[in-house]
Structure formats: structure tokens, C-alpha cells
Structure 1
Amino acid sequence: MLDMSSPQAKREAYALLQKQARAVLHGERDWLANLAQFTALVFNSVPDLNWAGFYLVNARKERELVLGPFQGKVACVRIAFERGVCGACARTQQVQLVEDVHAFPGHIACDSASRSELVLPLIVDGRLRGVFDLDSPLPARFDADDARGFEALLSVLVTGTDWP
């Protein structure tokens, strides 16, 4: 697990994760394989997570996310853009940083152990393709440094992947 005990340690951890992501994705451009590898890297490297994964825009139903590659307990399969933290991220295409998920109106409790959440939009060529969702059993686990770190990581994923 990476050391994220201070702002400096966190910056160094995210820089290392970017290097690791580039290495894991090197030579492979398949979108599904890369999302799966990316999720495994994050889940097994970042401390205090109980879920990490993607919800992808459903090509068959407008304004709905469908479960993609993830690590953690079983999860909700479909999320409307109008529901929960992931839906809010998809709807606004803005990072959602929630210190206490129980205080978030309309929060979807897939795992009752989750206390805080960070959700980032996955945008490719100006188009929303999905969201990357991170849950933690710790309240206020995520902060603006985490959001910036994961935005940079997602950039590595987007540029290293061929999208359908």
C-alpha cells in the first residue's frame, strides 16, 4: 500500500501510481483490459478503499450507467443519472467528493460499510464514457489532493487506451 499520510506523501504516491499505470498499460490498448488492470492497480495500491471501479454509460439506454470492471464486493449494476453520487457525477460531469455518503441526498448504499466516496467523470474526446468510483469505509477519506491525483491517473488511462 502507498503512503498517503501527508500531502507530500500523497503527491509522491500519485506520481508513482501514474508511472505504474503507464507500465501496466504499456503495449495494451484494449479498453476493457485496460479498465480492468487500472482498477486492480488502484484497489491494491491505494489504502483505505473498500471498492474501486467503473460505471460506464449504457449505449442502449440514455442517462444510465452500467457496472464495468471493478474490485471489491458485489455492486449495484445500473445507476440512473438522477440517482446517487455516481449519477450526480455523470449528470454534471464534475468530480464528486463526498465526506459522508449518509448525508448525500439519494445516496445508493451498495455496501453499508462505505462512509465516503470520490467519483470522477471518464471523458474521452469530449464525451462522457462513464465514471470512476472509489468508496472507503472511513469518513472523509478523500480530499482535493486525491481528486487531482485520480484525475491525472485517469488521463494516463484515457491516452493509453483505444475506445470503441
Structure 2
Amino acid sequence: MSLKTDYKNDKFSGMRKYKIETDSETGLSTLDDKTEYVEVGDIFSADDINNTNKAINKIEGTVNDMIGAIRLDFPKTGWSTQAPYKQTVNNAGINDTDVPVPMFEYPVINSEQQQKDVDRSVGYITDITTNNGSVTITCNYRKPTADFILVLKGI
């Protein structure tokens, strides 16, 4: 939908002029616009504001989708037994059309060796695939040996 972007204001010379007519039976008055217009402008209607608000709501939804993040736990025990090593984690908020930015978080780390194991395990990843309702990580050559958290930004 393309919203109108060329609204114009009324242009007139001098002051606005109105003729007031009063109904003798009801006592009600009406105004008759007698202004001399150089250019008659546009009316901004309820349809216009409704279309504008719909467009803003759609943009807001898109922005919220872009800034959202999903965290998925990939335990070291969940990998397939032979190469390529794969693990799939379910999450209803993910679609196969999503193209998120992957990041990683450390689980609770108690030692330098544990941190090295997580870093090494994340380094084994060769592919991250979003599916309808899940994410699959593939490691073509080595099986991860530590738990880690995949954070998908932009879901």
C-alpha cells in the first residue's frame, strides 16, 4: 500500500470569509464559505489516518521482530553419533524463512578449561538452519564437547 504524500493546504488571499444564515423557525445557523481560494487543499480523512496507522503498526511489528532474540540451549549430549554431527532444538517462535544473526552465550562457567571447551565447541559449527519450529546446528567434522547457548537475534 502506498500512502498519499502530496497533501496540500488551502491557499487564499486575505482573510477567510463566511456568510452566516439563520433559520427563522429553528434559530440554527449555517456557515457558507465565501473565501476566495487561490488553491483548494486536500481533506485528511479517517481513511487516511487509518491507512497511516496500519502502515505504522506493520513497521512496528517488523522492527520488534528484528530486535527480538531467542535463546536455545544446545547440550553436549544432544549431538548425533557420527559426522556430520547435528542437533535440532525446538522453539515455536522460529520459521524457516527467518534469517537471524547468531550469537553465543556461555552457560554457567566454573573454570578456564570449561570456557575453552565452549569456545572450541562453538568453533566446530559449520551451519545453522532455521526450520518451522526448530533450529538445526551442523558440525561437519567434530562433535561439540560442551554445552552452549545459541542466541538468535532478529526473530
TM-score by length of structure 2 reads 0.21
Structure number, greater radius of gyration: 2
| Higher relative helix content | 1
Question: Which structure shows the higher strand fraction?
Answer: 2
